[in-house]
Amino acid sequence: MKTAVCLFVLALLGLPTQAQTIHSPGRKLTLQFQLSPAGEPTYQLRYGARPVVLPSRLVVLLKDAPGFDRGFTIAKVDSSRHDDTWTPVWGEVKQIRNHYQELAVTVQQAAAQNRQLVLRFRLFDDGLGFRYEFPEQANLKYFTVSDERTEFNLAADHQAFWIRGDYDTNEYIYSTTKLSEVGPTTYKVTPEISTQVPIAPNAVQTPLMLKSADGLYVNLHEAALVNYPAMALLVNGATHGLVSQLTPSAAGPDSKAFLQAPARTPWRTVVVADNAPAILASKLILNLNEPSKIQDTGWITPQKFVGVWWEMHVNKGNWFYSDVTNIQLAGADFTQFKPTGRHSANTANVKRYIDFAAKNGLQSVLVEGWNVGWEDWFGNWKEEVFDFVTPYPDFAVDELQAYAAARNVKLIMHHETSGSVTNYERRMDAAYRFMKAHNYDAVKTGYVGRIIPRGEHHDGQWMVNHYVHAAQQTAANRIMVDMHESVRPTGLHRTYPNWLANEAARGNEFNAWSQGNPPEHETILPFTRLMGGPMDYTPGIFQIKLDAYAPQNKGKQVHTTLAKQLALYVTLYSPLQMAADLPETYEKLSDAFQFIRDVAVDWDDTRILAAEPGDHLTTVRKAKGKDEWYLGSITDEQPRQQSVRLDFLTPGVRYVATVYADGKGADWQKNPMAYQIRQVPVTSKSKLDLKLAPGGGAAVSFKPATREKGKN
Amino acid sequence: MKTAVCLFVLALLGLPTQAQTIHSPGRKLTLQFQLSPAGEPTYQLRYGARPVVLPSRLVVLLKDAPGFDRGFTIAKVDSSRHDDTWTPVWGEVKQIRNHYQELAVTVQQAAAQNRQLVLRFRLFDDGLGFRYEFPEQANLKYFTVSDERTEFNLAADHQAFWIRGDYDTNEYIYSTTKLSEVGPTTYKVTPEISTQVPIAPNAVQTPLMLKSADGLYVNLHEAALVNYPAMALLVNGATHGLVSQLTPSAAGPDSKAFLQAPARTPWRTVVVADNAPAILASKLILNLNEPSKIQDTGWITPQKFVGVWWEMHVNKGNWFYSDVTNIQLAGADFTQFKPTGRHSANTANVKRYIDFAAKNGLQSVLVEGWNVGWEDWFGNWKEEVFDFVTPYPDFAVDELQAYAAARNVKLIMHHETSGSVTNYERRMDAAYRFMKAHNYDAVKTGYVGRIIPRGEHHDGQWMVNHYVHAAQQTAANRIMVDMHESVRPTGLHRTYPNWLANEAARGNEFNAWSQGNPPEHETILPFTRLMGGPMDYTPGIFQIKLDAYAPQNKGKQVHTTLAKQLALYVTLYSPLQMAADLPETYEKLSDAFQFIRDVAVDWDDTRILAAEPGDHLTTVRKAKGKDEWYLGSITDEQPRQQSVRLDFLTPGVRYVATVYADGKGADWQKNPMAYQIRQVPVTSKSKLDLKLAPGGGAAVSFKPATREKGKN
């Protein structure tokens, strides 16, 4: 239901620079728009009486044309109220209310041929979204954005949860510092990231999580990033002012976005609350995205999967097949190459994963390394790396297709591009036809390495358009997609619900071969990366110390307890969840694996019971269409007690809570695999006490007591 | 038949810098290779005793690695003789002899990890080809060429026929100057070329035609341009030394070619003769290309065509359909746009061309402007311009498919990319499927405008790879291709015989809307642009003064006589020849059009009877599989008499020669359309006198007298 009502329209020429003020529907937030005496558009945002954003300028500069920066007068002001509720194809909740007050100010530059710009604000009770709109007009057709300088002048020196601004990667470790401390000595050094193009010592990425001394939580990001480069933020430590920094194109630093009017930027988002859980509950970014462009969504299936993947990360096998290390794809005959005998994506091994998935009710099996080219795929800015249709000699496509189908398991395709996106785009049609011919309906894509077209960045406009193109082309072929090393998401899964997940942050695999992810990592991700959309974090590692898999992994381990790995299935939302460890490991720890068998991947409801970025997070969710709830609770390196009131359960129903908790003496470093499982009868009036070990967590399933236990 | 014989192998370490000398099979040319005292590879070339290339260095520089420039010793010398004869799929002659002496010198750099380089020379009686080869080796895998500095130190200040060196266009007017006069004041100013990126004031393009004071003709170009940027030449006017200049990539001027060993450059070619016709008869560039990669070539058909094209150039119609000028392709509904009523590619008009082609025995009809997007297609570095599958509302694809098929006429597809090659590549599969579904088997492509990927050039490695990719993909779909605004060809039509022609030079259409092409233009093209391969010049304009078509063409005209337009079908070789004027014009001048009806497009033999670049050219060719000969004779702005001995005709056979000559008082400026047609009985002992008007020409068909006349 839509109740857009135009409340007032002021279309007076020569309108003064006086403030335009709107309040959010529940009057929690107040936005004021004003022109400065120089005719500069500015805005400010208050939460109650507390300032969130001090007066800040809104500036877009153009190449070879006057900037949209100053000399403006107000030509028109529109305000309206919007309130409706929509149903996501999949998600954390069954329905989402989209309730905001809108202010659209048309400003005009007399000195620049009366060019007009619309500044559109949508003010929700949980935050603000605003964007620049460039209407179709006589004196603006094609234009190149050289810079956008949107200011976010913050009220004080907040605590910030941040990673470096970088045009090509978001796989950094978070730093937690004051804004004034952001700089060249406070970021986490991560030499293990292969492709790094840091922007500047004071640049940070969005989503940026901030916490004020007086208890305000502020999250800065963007929504609906389409046909525009991604935005980073430059921090002025002295003033606590932030300003946007767009990713440049291959045409140079003065050419960031190529636009044609009518055009618009993504929404710049400021989510605000006086408590941390409310930040995580915000649906503001989704609300600012367009509804689904896919008509029939019945084929889109949230799912759990296993994959031929972790065994390569832990050195039990390889992506590559042969001992040839210098490959030129055209003309290479892989059937003539000598196999190493360590190629994981071989038919027998994949069958083992299919059997495991079938036995345990997991929907699908990802296979990486199935296609030729992995011997020589990385680091050389090479265009012809993979063809996406030629399997290695030991991967029997047809045989596996039949084997999986007979067991009601789907195979998930893998398309690593090596950053050579021109090569991927020109082969996409053939690759998707190959997939459909072999009954694949989901693909994991990857963008490791420097981008081709050379000079473009992962986060630039061209690549942003590529990701959307891939989402559209997969959708046209009824294929679900999971993108790794892509730009950070901005809620576009509302518009393209076949785009199930992204990586676009530091995932679990870093634990296998680098300094890893510190115990606080997963308590920060929901406040940062996940604000934009689901993450394919690949949780579920049970064999925490990795030298058990191969001696050369000595010292490598996942930086959590086993129980915390289970909790991540709830705390890190995704409709696509991997059970990332090896089948043989899960078989040995089958009682703990029961939580992964049980846990849902699509939800009717979600409650954030407790949260503090960098410290802890407790989330409970109700499985889609069932009276079953799943709870995850995690902590950083500090042990913690969480006392959970179960008042979310249906009153009057008796449930069995199965608690997967850290065992006695559990500790992420010293004793990470100690866990205990207990079953407790509970009702909505019960309370559950969870003890979280250092680096630990707990996972709980709640099922009505009348149901059979232990199976779903 | 191959008779490769390894004559001698010297594989001695510490071999001196002494000269390695080879002679061409007929000993016309002598090549000497030598290392300088600094270990620099050098070569020199003699024609008999006359120097062609004085000692010149061979240098390839790398980014972030030592250059292949000096410090070399000779590690190995191979020499061999090759002599075989091959049959082109189509061409100027039935068979081609490939006869050369080869010298391959492996040189090694002790100071650079003993890296090796092979300098391979092939010496024919009509010239030299040589290239750099980078063998697979331990210390050279991936590398980036920052510069190639191949020298061509010429013996004297030759006369040069040249156009500006430019990374994005070859549509310039030729200048004829001494080498020492090449510079910023001597090139022809051509503001009508939309995308110009001149390299330097002293840069010229290849094929570069040179003529020495003592009567040597030298042509510099390259062969088999694959996976490497195109080469221009920088002229040192003082020394008469030329040095290669590669086209840079989007990654910057220090990144010209991204290579992976084993790799090789294109062949650098020096065609040499003591007379101009011998230059035109050379098959050296074809011989240096690889044999056809297409197995079954039966579907490849040399052909003549008409097209919905010239009428737009002469302002009788438009490519675009509607009056909307700001188009965003996604979501634009062209059926809702108001048509201008001047859209040429409408069903009724196309039927008219089909009827004309059917009636006159032409195989096909090109239609430009059939697909949506032309309202707003050019000049804005815009990515989504055309989709290649959506016809305008007034172009009935299915109806025209049936209409053409019923008349045994093929439609030729048109794919203008607007330089947005990423867009084309990602839509190629769908575009070719659309073609095949609608019975198209040939496509004309176009690359007008700045290239996307942004920062790439028409002549850079990325685009070179694109053209080859397009040739391969069309071949895979059994589609013939004709590329406009592409890089200049280098004989790759031997390898991809579906690649019938290119424009890649200043074509006939410049006469319609610019200063045009001077009368000498077509006498230079065969010595320059056509050395690399066939050109779709689009000859056959009968209505010479263009204001007859539309008053706004006042002052515009083709800079030849009508008879010269006929001669071009013989003098400008192409297996794909357009009859470029309008059907209604040809119907009015049907007797002259008979030559176009008759003339062949595939040949068993070709003789260059007389030629001088910039002055005149007389060529005669024997039609494939027939005892019919066609002669073309053209002149520049000077009137000229050509007396032609007909000893090429089969002895003892009586022929009827139909002579299409300039009429009395014909003159390209004052009286361009005056022509006369006469029939003469001739034999191989006859002589024919042709009078060429200023800017004029003559065309002659020779058919056995026993055949019916006037029809083939």
pLDDT tens, residue by residue, B343-394: 999 999 999 999 999 999 999 999 999 999 999 999 999 999 999 999 999 9
CA distances (Å), A403 to each of A502, A586, B573, in order? 28, 22, 58
Nearest to A258 by CA among A394, A92, A145: A145
| Secondary structure (3-state) at B430 | helix
Separation between Cα atoms, residue B138 and residue B65, nearest integer Å: 14
**B704 part of contact set with chain A, CB < 8 Å:** no
How confident is residue B707, by pLDDT bands cut at 50, 70 and 90?
low
Q: How many CB pairs under 8 A join A and B?
A: 85
- The values of phi and psi at residue B99, to 5°, are -130, 110
For A234, the enclosing helix (H) or strand (E) is strand A231-236
* Inter-chain CB proximity B251 and A328 less than 8 Å: no
B445-460 tens-digit pLDDT: 999 999 999 999 999 9
Provide the shortest C-alpha distance from residue B453 to chain A (in Å): 6
Q: Work out whether strand A499-502 and strand A480-484 pair parallel, antiparallel, or are unpaired.
A: parallel
- The values of phi and psi at residue A511, to 5°, are -65, -20
Say if residue B10's pLDDT is above 60. no
Nearest to B660 by CA among B614, B638, B691: B691
Return all residues near A571 (Cβ < 8 A) that are at least 6 apart.
Answer: A522, A526, A617, A618, A619, A632, A633, A634, A697
Nearest to B393 by CA among B336, B432, B439: B336
* Inter-chain CB proximity A380 and B429 less than 8 Å: no
B113-156 tens-digit pLDDT: 999 999 999 999 999 999 999 999 999 999 999 999 999 999 99
- Alpha-helix runs per DSSP H in A497-589: 510-513, 521-524, 562-571, 583-588
Separation between Cα atoms, residue A247 and residue A226, nearest integer Å: 13
* Inter-chain CB proximity A469 and B426 less than 8 Å: yes
Inter-residue contact B106 to B118 (CB < 8 Å)? yes
Separation between Cα atoms, residue A300 and residue A698, nearest integer Å: 30
In a mutagenesis test of the A interface, which of B422, B425, B467 is the best target, namely the one with the most A β-carbons within 10 Å?
B422
Please give the DSSP secondary-structure letter assigned to residue B460: S
Residues A519/A525/A527/A530 CA torsion (nearest 10 deg):
-160
**B261 part of contact set with chain A, CB < 8 Å:** yes
Set of chain A residues whose Cβ sits within 8 Å of the Cβ of B258: 381-383, 454
Set of chain A residues whose Cβ sits within 8 Å of the Cβ of B261: 326
Nearest to B68 by CA among B267, B264, B269, B199: B264
**A709 part of contact set with chain B, CB < 8 Å:** no
Set of chain A residues whose Cβ sits within 8 Å of the Cβ of B465: 383
Separation between Cα atoms, residue B413 and residue B395, nearest integer Å: 13
Q: Work out whether strand A303-308 and strand A364-367 pair parallel, antiparallel, or are unpaired.
A: parallel
Return all residues near A437 (Cβ < 8 A) that are at least 6 apart.
Answer: none
CB-based burial label for B12 (10 Å; 0-12, 13-18, 19+): exposed
Set of chain A residues whose Cβ sits within 8 Å of the Cβ of B425: 422, 425-426
B61-110 tens-digit pLDDT: 999 999 999 999 999 999 999 999 999 999 999 999 999 999 999 999 99
CA-nearest residue to A252 within chain B is B455
Amino acid at B85: T
Written as six digits, the tokens of A571 are 């705390």
Mean pLDDT per 10-residue section of chain A, whose length is 712 residues: 34 58 98 97 98 98 98 97 98 98 98 97 98 97 98 98 98 98 96 96 98 97 98 98 98 97 98 98 98 98 98 98 94 95 98 98 98 96 97 98 98 98 97 98 98 98 98 98 98 98 98 97 98 98 98 97 98 98 98 98 98 98 98 98 98 98 98 98 98 98 76 43
* Inter-chain CB proximity B260 and A381 less than 8 Å: no
* Inter-chain CB proximity A425 and B422 less than 8 Å: yes
In the block, tokens 């129980």 appear at A563
CA-nearest residue to A378 within chain B is B142
* Inter-chain CB proximity B260 and A469 less than 8 Å: no
In the block, tokens 């068909």 appear at B701
CA B510 to chain centre: 17
How confident is residue B18, by pLDDT bands cut at 50, 70 and 90?
confident
The pLDDT score that the predictor gives to residue A481 is: 98
Set of chain B residues whose Cβ sits within 8 Å of the Cβ of A456: 453
Q: Mean pLDDT across the stretch B632-653?
A: 98
ipTM for this model: 0.94
Q: Mean pLDDT across the stretch B542-556?
A: 97
CA B602 to chain centre: 16
B232-282 tens-digit pLDDT: 999 999 999 999 999 999 999 999 999 999 999 999 999 999 999 999 999
Q: Mean pLDDT across the stretch B699-712?
A: 74
In the block, tokens 């424009």 appear at B503
**A616 part of contact set with chain B, CB < 8 Å:** no
Written as six digits, the tokens of B173 are 């007017």
Nearest to A618 by CA among A696, A685, A671: A696
**A422 part of contact set with chain B, CB < 8 Å:** yes
The residue from A92, A509, A520, A628 that is catalytic is: A509
In the block, tokens 């530091």 appear at A506
Separation between Cα atoms, residue A96 and residue A83, nearest integer Å: 11
- Alpha-helix runs per DSSP H in A237-329: 276-281, 284-287, 310-313
Separation between Cα atoms, residue B118 and residue B137, nearest integer Å: 12
**B453 part of contact set with chain A, CB < 8 Å:** yes
Q: Please tell me the pTM assigned to this model.
A: 0.95
Separation between Cα atoms, residue B476 and residue A650, nearest integer Å: 63
**Number of C-alpha atoms within 13 angstroms, CB side, residue A318?**
16
Inter-residue contact B631 to B570 (CB < 8 Å)? yes
**Number of C-alpha atoms within 13 angstroms, CB side, residue B23?**
6
How confident is residue B17, by pLDDT bands cut at 50, 70 and 90?
low
Please give the DSSP secondary-structure letter assigned to residue A24: -
In a mutagenesis test of the B interface, which of A64, A227, A382, A422 is the best target, namely the one with the most B β-carbons within 10 Å?
A422
CA B156 to chain centre: 28
The pLDDT score that the predictor gives to residue A707 is: 53
Set of chain B residues whose Cβ sits within 8 Å of the Cβ of A385: none
CB-CB neighbours of B645 under 10 Å: 12
| Secondary structure (3-state) at A418 | coil
Please give the DSSP secondary-structure letter assigned to residue B237: T
